[in-house]
């Protein structure tokens, strides 16, 4: 993309004031950009982007209209990815795991028990690991912005017992999204994972098709899973985030000052969204405790060791490749 670090710095130098579009551009029709996301309308992954859209409108004197479509209004995430690649959709956000059919390494941040805390997550995603994936996405006509949205650490809830050690997962019936790496992880830990659509999860828990599930705390609270679950083990077994990206050729065709304004506003929105999610996680735990959920925080070292001995890390190192895995381990320490 033609926007480079120097231009991004120039955008920051503009501050919050308008970025003037000169000559014929200023007299031309508004630039309309469509942005799609699966996040609900009230999720900060949507509300912060809407704020960015309003700021962008002011920055450009009303010339750029970034239209935000939440809650998968423009289609499923795979559909929106296809639309973005073709140019039918300009911008969107989605988890790296949803991009793995195009860029296998895009889901590497979801490796089980890789990041011990958010400090490691953001160092990696804002640094070399994120840059590695962003460079791969550019090869398939997708330009990813520097800052990634937070979708949270995933934790295990159960109706039967808290998960304290890997032994507690032996034979445990758990719902997992149909993501190969996550299914592989729970199999390696001795559980019996079942892929079930999120819309069917509550019913599956209620009817004991599965005895547990795993999701970020905010989603556990908002989906009222506390009504059909008793325990929540803060395993933080995988971290999930959304890349903000767009059609590379379309973005390259925009005036450079618009490219700079987009980068400035979307990256700033992601940073604010991360703060929102941190607050929401804290609030969600308090609400879940009030609703009767019993929390525990297991030691993750035995889980990591079991995955290592079961060959999970070696398997996924082979799938991601030595180069990508080496970048990951710069931040996490040795996994495989």
CA angle at residue 241 from 325 to 80, to 5 degrees? Answer: 105
Over residues 292-320, the mean pLDDT reads 97
Give the tens place of pLDDT for each residue, 110-124: 999 999 999 999 999
Average pLDDT, the chain: 91
- Answer for the pair 243, 137: CB distance below 8 angstroms, yes or no: yes
Give the tens place of pLDDT for each residue, 168-210: 999 999 999 989 999 999 999 999 999 998 889 999 999 999 9
Instruction: Measure the CA–CA gap between 258 and 239, rounded to whole angstroms.
Output: 32
User: What is the homologous superfamily of the domain 153-239+281-329 according to CATH?
Assistant: Bacterial extracellular solute-binding protein, family 7 (3.40.190.170)
Domain locations along the chain: 5-151+241-279, 153-239+281-329
Over residues 250-255, the mean pLDDT reads 97
Instruction: Measure the CA–CA gap between 64 and 201, rounded to whole angstroms.
Output: 40
Domains 5-151+241-279 and 153-239+281-329 share a fold: yes
pLDDT for res 137: 98
Over residues 36-45, the mean pLDDT reads 93
Does residue 274 have a pLDDT over 80?
Answer: yes
Residue bearing tokens 């790296």: 96
Does residue 51 have a pLDDT over 80?
Answer: yes
Distance of CA 114 to the CA centre of its chain: 15
Does residue 29 have a pLDDT over 70?
Answer: no
Number of C-beta neighbours around residue 16 at 10 A: 10
- Answer for the pair 118, 60: CB distance below 8 angstroms, yes or no: no
**Residue (of 96, 92, 51) closest to 70 by Cα position:** 92
Contacts of 32 (CB under 8 A, 6+ apart): 65, 67
HEC profile for the chain?
Answer: CCCCHHHHHHHHHCCCCCCCCCHHHHHCCCEEEEEECCCCCCCHHHHHHHHHHHHHHHHCCCCEEEEEECCCCCCCHHHHHHHHHHCCCCEEEEEHHHHCCCCHHHHHHHCCCCCCCHHHHHHHHCCHHHHHHHHHHHCCCEEECCCCEEEEEEEEEECCCCCCCHHHHCCCEEEECCCHHHHHHHHHCCCEEEECCHHHHHHHHHCCCCCEEEECHHHHHHCCHHHCCCEEEEEEEEEEEEEEEEEHHHHHHCCHHHHHHHHHHHHHHHHHHHHHHHHHHHHHHHHHHHCCCEEECCCCHHHHHHHHHCCHHHHHHHHHCHHHHHHHHHHHCCCC
- Answer for the pair 186, 326: CB distance below 8 angstroms, yes or no: no
pLDDT for res 199: 86
Strands 231-247, 294-296: pairing is: parallel
Does residue 84 have a pLDDT over 80?
Answer: yes
Q: What is the pTM of this model?
A: 0.88
Distance of CA 231 to the CA centre of its chain: 25
Give the tens place of pLDDT for each residue, 205-245: 999 999 999 999 988 998 999 999 999 999 999 999 999 99
Pick from 7-16, 52-61, 125-134, 233-242: least confident = 7-16
Name the architecture of domain 5-151+241-279. Answer: 3-Layer(aba) Sandwich (3.40)
Does residue 281 have a pLDDT over 90?
Answer: yes
**Residue (of 156, 145, 170, 162) closest to 296 by Cα position:** 162
Residue bearing tokens 């808290």: 162
Does residue 10 have a pLDDT over 90?
Answer: no
Ramachandran region, residue 232 (left: φ > 0; alpha: ψ -120 to 50; beta: rest):
beta
């Amino acid at each position: 993309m033609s926007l480079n670090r120097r231009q991004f710095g120039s955008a920051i130098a503009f501050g919050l004031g308008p970025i003037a579009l000169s000559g014929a551009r200023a007299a031309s029709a508004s630039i309309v950009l469509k942005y799609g996301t699966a996040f609900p309308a009230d999720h900060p992954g949507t509300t912060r982007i809407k704020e960015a859209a309003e700021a962008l409108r002011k920055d450009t004197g009303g010339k750029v209209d970034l239209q935000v479509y939440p809650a998968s209004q423009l289609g499923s995430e795979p559909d929106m990815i296809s639309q973005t690649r073709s140019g039918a959709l300009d911008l969107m956000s989605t988890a790296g795991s949803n991009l793995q059919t195009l860029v296998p390494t895009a889901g590497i941040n979801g490796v089980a028990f890789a990041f011990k805390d958010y400090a490691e997550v953001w160092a990696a995603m804002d640094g070399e690991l994120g840059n590695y994936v962003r460079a791969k996405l550019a090869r398939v006509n997708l330009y990813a912005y520097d800052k990634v949205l937070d979708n949270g650490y995933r934790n295990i809830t159960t109706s039967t017992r808290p998960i304290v050690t890997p032994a507690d997962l032996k034979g445990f019936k758990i719902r997992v999204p149909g993501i190969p790496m996550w299914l592989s992880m729970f199999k390696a830990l001795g559980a019996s994972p079942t892929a079930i659509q999120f819309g069917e999860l509550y019913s599956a828990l209620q009817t004991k098709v599965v005895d547990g599930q795993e999701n970020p705390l905010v989603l556990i609270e908002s989906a009222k899973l506390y009504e059909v679950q008793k325990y929540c083990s803060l395993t933080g077994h995988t971290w999930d985030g959304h890349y903000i990206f767009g059609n590379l050729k379309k973005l390259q065709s925009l005036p450079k000052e618009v490219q700079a304004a987009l980068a400035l506003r979307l990256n700033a929105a992601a940073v604010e969204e991360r703060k929102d999610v941190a607050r929401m996680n804290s609030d969600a735990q308090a609400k879940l405790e009030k609703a009767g959920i019993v929390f525990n925080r297991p030691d993750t070292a035995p889980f990591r060791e079991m995955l290592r001995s079961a060959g999970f890390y070696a398997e996924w190192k082979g799938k991601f490749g030595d180069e990508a895995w080496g970048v990951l381990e710069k931040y996490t320490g040795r996994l495989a």
